[in-house]
Structure 1
């Protein structure tokens, strides 16, 4: 009997700690004028369970290894079971030997239209379209997984980005926005297409070096870590010279601008004059933040 109890406990532990994400889902419906409608609370609860309880990979994550992330759905309109919304997705990862979590992915999906019936079954299919609601959320789950993996291993996110690309491909059958080339330079299609392009390999290399060679060593050698992060800007400058004002560059700095400002403003003194010039060149949309850097 004791062996059976132990086996059952192990099985429960495996299930409890196998999922990959620790995701907070919020559904905001103030713009609809009916924000207290129970359907939004039901949607929020169902999506939280769907994202956190689905097994997205074949890997086992311990509780403390689950990726911290959030998805905020801002519903603009609701007509019966049709919803028009935007989706803000963000994730972070812990920094070695510290209590600090670094933002990794920060993306505003402005065109998120979906159909939802209260208490409907939510199931993800790797190879088949189920609904735009499932496709959009699953796409961003794999973006979170891919970005996180890229921050720990050079091009470690390949498998996850390939799955995101598969989702984008089979979701094109729908008329929903964001899945096709003609949907613009900041769509889901553009995001995954750029990430999988060899032209942007330097962006992914920079993502890896920024975290592993920069942030993760700052607890032991803050000056070296700071200089490593500054050297990453030179890699980004090479990408910028080939693909100026790229969407991926903006995605990177949407997550990292505040952090970079803090890093360059504090800690040991290093020469950052060239870094400032580079930042203003490759990320001019954050020039106000760069002006706030004290050195």
Structure 2
């Protein structure tokens, strides 16, 4: 009886800490052989607790409204550094790659559409087993919490951009604050360095905040809210709006070639665009094939599959998320 009463009283407090993002964490450590495997089991659990146990916005999300996000963290090595005795293995420091995939529901269906499909090839962090992962809004705490907090705010920003025009701005600015708090040694590392334009975190963030990339962010809203969300009731109008979104992405690509944001968009949407336009008219198909082949030239052959016979498919159920235009 007493236990039931305690749980009843604590329930509201437990719900307060639930993340707006439903994170799934997958850890791959097959390439590491010299470390106690229990360290990685603890790391995977700590990451899930940190990401899912923290609220990132002031909006209230119902359980069914949470954003689905999956992290694939592959640890490839223990970092080595020079010491007075030569090369020395630091057992609690690791490096590898990180892939993130997120999705959003589509109005009136039981399916979802991919929003982010991104791979970070320069992950490096320290981790002490049983030391809680913490993120401060005032000061730098650790590389690992900064890394995860950075991507959490990017995931939120991209999701909010699909529900309202430029709705993700506050969350990109939060990611910028995390970057600004990094100590110089961390900020100058390959994964963060602003001087490294090879698709790292700083470059992706710069894209999201750049005026030249406003057409892509506008396209996120047009593609999803005015396009996919309308496909159930008016597929022709919905597809026309998706075409307008692709035109915006093409304009941004011409203004800012080889941008990380454009590449992230096509990596997430390539297969979906092919399926959507299989049911379009010949002129629509030709226009989209030409545009996507310019935007995503290495995959131009994929877009020719649009001419295959068969109806267009849509994926997902929109939801109302908070008061900031996400209706």
Regarding TM over 0.5, the answer is yes
Aligned residues: 291
CA distance in 2, matches of 1:214, 1:272: 16
CA distance in 1, matches of 2:173, 2:274: 33
CA distance in 2, matches of 1:172, 1:33: 31
TM-score by length of 1: 0.92
- Mapping of residues 249-268 of structure 1, within 5 Å: 249-265=262-278, 267=279
Structure 2 residue 205 is matched with structure 1 residue 196? no
Structure 2 residue 66 is matched with structure 1 residue 55? no
Equivalent pair of 1:28/1:35 in contact (CA under 8 Å): no
SS in 1 for 2:182: helix
CA distance in 2, matches of 1:35, 1:68: 31
Deviation string 1:84-119 (CA, Å, 9 cap, x unpaired) is 111101111111111111110111111110000111
CA distance in 1, matches of 2:163, 2:131: 37
Match of 1:15 in 2: 16
- Find 2:131's aligned residue among 75, 95, 120: 120
Match of 1:76 in 2: 76
CA distance in 1, matches of 2:99, 2:275: 23
- Find 1:237's aligned residue among 234, 246, 250: 250
Match of 1:274 in 2: 287
Match of 2:114 in 1: 103
Equivalent pair of 1:179/1:187 in contact (CA under 8 Å): yes
Match of 1:64 in 2: 64
SS in 2 for 1:22: strand
Deviation string 1:209-241 (CA, Å, 9 cap, x unpaired) is 000110001111222212221222211222122
Distance 1:249 1:34, change over 3 A: same
Q: Which runs of 5+ in 1 are unaligned?
A: none
- Mapping of residues 89-238 of structure 1, within 5 Å: 89-175=100-186, 176-238=189-251
Distance 1:91 1:229, change over 3 A: same
Equivalent pair of 2:222/2:244 in contact (CA under 8 Å): no
Q: Which runs of 5+ in 2 are unaligned?
A: 79-89, 309-327
SS in 2 for 1:99: coil
Q: CA RMSD in A?
A: 2.2
Match of 1:45 in 2: 45
TM-score by length of 2: 0.83
Higher relative CO (Cα under 8 Å, sequence separation at least 6) belongs to 2
